[in-house]
Amino acid sequence: MLVAPVGMVVASGVVVAVLIGTISGAVEPLVLGDTGPVVRYGLVVNRVLHDLSAALAIGLLLVAAFLTPEARQTARRSTAAVAAAYCAGAWALTCVAGLVFTFSASSGLQLSDPGFWGELTRSAWDLEITRLILIELVMVALLCAFAAVARTRGQLAWAFTLAVATMWPVSFAGHGSSLVGHEQGMTGLLIHLIGVSLWVGGLLAIVILRPVLGTAMPVTLRRYSTIALACYVAVGGSGVLFALLQADDLGDLLSPYWLVLWLKVVALLVLGMFGYNQRRLLLERDTTRPGVFARLALTELGVMGAAVGLGVALSRTPPPVVEDITGGDPALPLTGFPTPEPFTMGKLLTAWEPMWLFLIPALLAVGLYLAAVRRLRRRGDAWPVGRTVLWVIGWAIFIYATCGAPGQYGKVMFSLHMVMHMALMMAVPIFLVPAAPVTLALRALKARTDKTLGPREVILAIVHSRWAAFFVNPLVAAVMFFGSLIAFYYTAWFEWSLSTHSGHVVMVVHFFLTGYTFVWALVGKDPGPPKWPAPLRLMVLIGTLAAHAFFGLALMSGTWLLAPTFFKTVDLPWVPDLLADQQLAGMIAWGIGELPTVVLAMMVTLDWLRSDERDATRHDRRADRDGDAELTAYNEQLAELARRGSDPRAR
């Protein structure tokens, strides 16, 4: 049962990649010199094995951690985990081979060159493309070890998360990283690779695990089918997002690169029909009848393998659009974006530079929230409109801060960077937290009854985890909130975040989460760690407010430039005085920072008043129920004290 499906996918992938690659130029010698057929074809064949072993490792962990229930006497999860460890091992081997082939292709050195191995060990880390493979190799090696021992749902879920996270360095290595707007390319490839891995890897895993899945097959397939549908949309959409970068004019649409792309579009349509057919046939018929399922799945896997092969051929086919990112614009090699037009106040309303990695999740968050509210409404449950409005406003501010003027100009100007920072850390969470997304999700999502981790169970596990208890503790959240400001601006972290894509992404995610946990700790209504009494929360807030003001003042009065190399290299003609722009950032931090904090203080105070009211109501209800036994007891106590006081013998 193992050999046929894996053999089918690998064979169709390799054959298509080599055949199409030979036609499209993917295996042609590079400008640096011909490093020989072993390297040229090795790169393509190895990449197919790489993508498929990664997909299968992710697919097996998906099935084990989230899709299939475990019954007495079955070893479904451990079987899947062990198989995933083997796949991760294969994945690691393809990383090693990829490292050797990529270094040869990038350096122009042949494998047989006497100095090749010495040069490889000396400079593999210095070269960005081989450094990314080394980072991936370390993550995959960790995954291999972890999958070998992971047995509980929680452990398997963490192994799955690590496997998916490994797609991050992989997505940096595609054609996308060398282009203007490389953020769009890398985000497109990241979503593409994750979508393909869950989709292809999930189906392949179910086919391989069928003997151990047994009676759990129908439920596993039903759950996979929902994920497959989402992946179908994600793969198609992200492929188009990436492909759009590769068409400057209509002529490009007939280039070898695009001819491979058109084949991929056809592959996606064919797979769409398969998916629809499988969904209809499999969900209607008895899926345990081996013939039905095996025939459909094997054919579908064959087409999937071919599509992966096309993807690999495409990733090595010279693209029609080649842009010189060193063309004299100093910001381009650093930020991946061209220097924007001179800043004017009007730009605050008109500037737009989509950061897809932030735009897509923001739109998804709004879409899922509205879908959940609709589900509640449909079943006759109410949900406050105010919360929905807050949620939408919160994400609108998030999109403006990351893709509007603060996002675009914040990449090269300290002052606008601070507007983005303050919006992410303070303004956005103040709208999102009161929208109570966790409460809504728990009410809208169905609970699983077979001890598997569905979306609802994952959310519950996160909000009740020790991590949440630690980070949503008001004191820890406050230290993270203020400490991040100092750690970020007064260390190399700031320069790293300005001059690398990863740094920029880590910065945005960090600021957002730090702000969100801080506001959640103070005024969150969602289930989670127990709340501190309101007066204590208010004190934490006032302390943070003061520290924040101190930070703003320090920046305003600072006399030395932060991230000097970056700002001097970018050298914006319309920012003649960098220190003045930095001091303006200090003013913004202080100014923008204070307003949300005052709003937070009012929310905590309101919470305080309400909790007093609740206490009073609770007390009154109890008094009504027990004839105010507490007061009676108290009066009796007072009377007893009085009696003793008046009794000279008690003295």
User: Which spans of this chain sit near ligand HEM (rule: CB under 6 A)?
Assistant: 47, 51, 174-175, 189, 192, 196, 200, 235-236, 239-240, 242-243, 261, 264-265, 267-268, 271, 304, 307-308, 311-312, 314-315, 319
Least distance to ligand HEM, CB of residue 170, Å: 7
Nearer to ligand HEM, 324 or 636 (CB): 324
Residue ranges of the alpha helices (H) in 214-316? 217-243, 256-284, 290-316
The Cα–Cα gap between 650 and 419 comes to 71
Least distance to ligand HEM, CB of residue 313, Å: 8
The Cα–Cα gap between 386 and 379 comes to 20
How many Cα atoms occupy the beta-carbon half-sphere of 454 within 13 Å?
18
- Residue 280 tokens read as 């209809």
Nearer to ligand HEM, 44 or 578 (CB): 44
> CA torsion 474→478→480→485, rounded to 10°?
160
Nearer to ligand HEM, 316 or 411 (CB): 316
Task: For the chain, report the end-to-end CA distance as a whole number of angstroms.
Answer: 92
Q: Which of 445, 435, 432, 438 is nearest to 384 (CA)?
A: 435
Least distance to ligand HEM, CB of residue 200, Å: 5
Nearer to ligand HEM, 131 or 456 (CB): 131
Least distance to ligand HEM, CB of residue 189, Å: 6
Least distance to ligand HEM, CB of residue 218, Å: 24
Nearer to ligand HEM, 197 or 484 (CB): 197
The Cα–Cα gap between 299 and 277 comes to 12
The Cα–Cα gap between 531 and 142 comes to 37
Nearer to ligand HEM, 304 or 444 (CB): 304
30: Cβ contacts below 8 Å, ≥ 6 apart = 105, 108
- Residue 495 tokens read as 């320069």
Nearer to ligand HEM, 261 or 600 (CB): 261
Least distance to ligand HEM, CB of residue 283, Å: 22
Least distance to ligand HEM, CB of residue 360, Å: 16
Q: State the DSSP string of 333-345.
A: HHHSSPPPSPP-T
Neighbours of 330 (CB within 10 A): 16
The Cα–Cα gap between 365 and 352 comes to 20
The Cα–Cα gap between 99 and 507 comes to 29
State whether residue 325 is helix, strand or coil: coil
Least distance to ligand HEM, CB of residue 584, Å: 41
Nearer to ligand HEM, 27 or 267 (CB): 267
